[in-house]
Amino acid sequence: MEKLGLIAGGGRLPYEIASFCRRAGRELFVVRLKGIADPGMETFEGAEAGIAEFGRCLDLLRGAGCRSVCLAGIVKRPDFSALKPDLKGLSIVPGAIAAARHGDDELLRYMLQLFEREGFRVEGAHEVMRELTLPSGPLGALRPDAEALADATKAMRVGAEIGRLDIGQGAVVCAGLVLAVEAQEGTDAMLRRVAELPAEIRGRPDARRGVLAKAPKPIQDHRIDLPTLGVKTLEGVAAAGLSGVVGQAGGMIVVDRDAVAREADRLGLFVWGLEPAEAS
């Protein structure tokens, strides 16, 4: 198996992937994005590079003998005027700015193409570690009732529509009413907005209603930026009075699946994977 170069952004996902590679015996080299990657990534073989130091990144990967790369973790859209690119980075920044004008998905595709042009094979996080993705049906002990399933189906359709426009990946529906859609603020901030809505149109911790859906963008390359679910998101779902989370089976990354299942059970939430045909 080819040695993997992991481009590590923030959050726990890069750590999960690196730990999996270590357990599986796959050779790994981690490029930690400066000021973005979590400190825990320093426990793996690797080095640090700035987000615009593309030449340094390529040199590090080739020097380590990597043939494949995986881009994982949270990387917010940068302030292009504040970047400090190296010589190779200078050549790609204009293209990145042009791509970004067409949306985040276009920018991400541009970045994937850059690595492919340099001769690397790009692997999605879910391809490196198959058990990362949401399975079909329940993850945990609880299941949605008929009302929650109806809300889930609608929320997935809404998520797909905003994804088609490259707006976001998440939506909240309660009793057929769309309470929120995700844009640049992200899922956690969207859930905080839902928690501030009038109680009569959403659920409460003692009478949960409504569903958060996270759906892949129909236009996106699934090797990067699949919707992600972790324990922190479940806490926001519970605080908003919702009854659970739904995603597309195989189309949502679950960070630390066992911990998410335990937390969902503890909070009284369902986590449910819909087959693609059910989600459309």
Full pLDDT tens readout for the chain, 280 residues: 789 999 998 888 899 999 999 999 999 999 999 988 999 999 999 999 988 899 999 999 999 999 999 998 888 777 777 778 888 888 888 888 887 776 666 777 888 888 999 999 999 888 888 778 899 999 999 999 999 999 999 999 998 888 888 788 899 999 999 999 998 888 999 999 999 999 889 888 888 999 999 988 776 667 777 888 999 999 999 999 999 999 998 888 898 889 999 999 999 999 999 987 665 5
Q: How far apart are CA 96 and CA 106, in angstroms?
A: 9
Q: Are 192 and 236 in contact (CB under 8 A)?
A: yes
- pLDDT tens readout for residues 224-272: 778 889 999 999 999 999 999 999 988 888 988 899 999 999 999 999 9
CA distances from 170 to 17, 213, 239 (A): 24, 6, 17
Q: How far apart are CA 264 and CA 245, in angstroms?
A: 9
Q: What average pLDDT does the structure give for the chain? A: 89
253-254 and 228-229 beta bridge pairing:
parallel
Q: Count of CB atoms within 10 A of residue 181's CB?
A: 18
Nearest to 58 by CA among 29, 25, 82, 15: 29
